[in-house]
Structure 1
Amino acid sequence: MGLVFRLIELLILLVPVAGVIFGGMKAVSAARRRQDRIDAEDGPAVSAGTAENNRVARWRAIQRTVQEHDRTDTKWLDYELDVVKLLDFPVMTDMREPVTERFHRAKLRADLLRPAEAATLLDDREADLEYREAVADYAMAFNVAEAEAARRRRSYLSQGDQQRIGRGQSLLRVAADSGATPQERERAYQLAGRELDGLVVLPERTRAEIERGITGELGG
């Protein structure tokens, strides 16, 4: 009989504890269900927000790429519009030089891949990555060619070729001189072409600027 009473007393003591444990388990379970509902409701919103953030980040990267393309074009334009500077650093147009050939090839690729509207790259990830890579190659190739041109200037040329470039440079000064007569300018331009033939290739924009000036003078 004493054993029975002790068991009853033990059960009386354990019931409140069991209640506390059971209640705690229910609370944890309820809290978990609430969190699951929150996650289910917020999940799409978080995903949409992440997608939008990714799109914004990609757009900024695209804009940086376009700006880098423009900066490199501007640096090259300084040479194209200054024929004296161009011939002071002949490596920039000497297509026999590997660094020069790589630079011009990289520029051509970047220009071809540049979209008419940058925003179109947002919906074409492959084109976006290809354009970014092309611009990075272009900027790097230009910097390498420019550094090499500044380091070597005309020193890598033979004495005879250096003299030819010097004469060509002087003739192109006359060809670009608005104070010279149209006939003088045209003749100087022709002679400069002969001096530089096989040494450097004047960029199309450089030639167009000089020829436009000559043509304008003749037309006037």
Structure 2
Amino acid sequence: MDALFGFLGSYWWLALVFGGAIASGFSALGSWWSKQSKQRHKQRLEVMRAKAEIAQANQSMDPEAIAQADAASRADRLERLMETHDDVSRRWLDYELDAAKLIAFPTMSDGRDRHTAAFLRAKKVADGLRPASAHARVDAEAYAEYRDAVHDYEVAFDVAEQEARRVRDTGFSEAERQRLTRAQHMLNVAVDTSATAAERQTAYRRIREELDGLLVLSDAAETELKRRVAGELSA
């Protein structure tokens, strides 16, 4: 101890030289420590606030509310799928109900065409998997099957329609194409309101003769054609 006091007594002048630097160092250290303490305190408050928000959310979303939200979301997705399904069916019915379209694009009514056949198969699958309503109870597996079926149905129709518009009547012989042309001409007469009733009925019979064995009009197309021709032709 005497040696320590002796050393301090001999080198007291060091305090004059380095005292300011030492004091500044301690001051900076204290400032840094205070800043770190404030930062840690702020982080703790943020963590506590986040935990409180999570706990509040968990309390507000009870199991029943979560189940209801999930069911609503599933119903929305199912409703959009069913709308797509209906849209494709409406596009198909445009051909089924319009004799002019069937004559112009005959492969759309020809089940022997591979593209049309693929579309009809996809339609059957999608129709079979379609739920009763958007709010029907459908599990994840059934939903996925229906979603894929609607997608296949839509794609298959697009392919069949594009192919039908591309080939038109090229799959028919020259004589058959002439029959289709005459049928199209007679159709224009049959739906012409300026023509007489007798002219429209004659044109209607000629359409049936030209298409016989060439194209098959669906019952719906037949009914629609009759309505457009006269509205009172007998079956």
TM-score (norm 1): 0.66
Deviations 1:136-159 (A, max 9, x none): 222111101011012112222221
Report the counterpart of residue 57 of structure 1 in structure 2. Answer: 73
CA distance in 1 between partners of 2:132 and 2:201 (Å): 37
Q: Which has the higher helix share?
A: 1
Question: CA 1:177–1:104 in structure 2 vs 1: closer, same or farther (change >3 Å)?
Answer: farther
Equivalents in 1 of 2:92, 2:108: separation in Å?
9
Matched, 1:178 2:193: yes
Please list, as runs of the form range in 1=range in 2, the aligned pairs for 1:1-220 lying within 5 A after superposition: 42=58, 45=61, 51-120=67-136, 123-125=137-139, 128-214=143-229, 216-218=231-233
Q: Contact conserved, 1:154 with 1:162, CA < 8 A, in 2?
A: yes
Cα distance change, pair 178–130 in 1 and its aligned pair in 2 (3 A): farther
Does the Cα contact within 8 Å between 1:106 and 1:141 map onto a contact in 2? yes
The more displaced of 147-156 and 173-182 is 173-182
| Distance in 1 separating the partners of 2:132 and 2:144 | 16
8 A contact 1:95–1:201 mirrored in 2 = no
Change (3 A) 1:50 1:218: closer
The two structures have a TM-score, normalised by structure 2, of 0.62
Question: Which 10-residue stretch deviates more, 181-190 or 61-70?
Answer: 181-190
Q: Which has the larger radius of gyration?
A: 2
Aligned residues: 180
Question: Residues 199 and 127 from structure 1, CA distance in 2 versus in 1: closer, same or farther, beyond 3 angstroms?
Answer: farther
Distance 2:142 2:226 in 1: 37
Aligned-partner Cα distance in 1 for 2:197–2:95: 24
- After TM superposition, give the deviation of residue 65 of structure 1 in Å: 0.8
Runs of 5+ unmatched residues, structure 2: 1-50
- Give unmatched runs, 5+ long, in structure 1: 1-34
In 2, are the aligned partners of 1:114 and 1:131 still within 8 Å (CA)? yes
C-alpha distance in 1, partners of 2:224/2:187? 11
- State how far apart, in whole Å, the 2-side matches of 1:84 and 1:68 are: 25
Give distance in 1, aligned partners of 2:69 and 2:114.
42
Q: CA RMSD in A?
A: 3.2
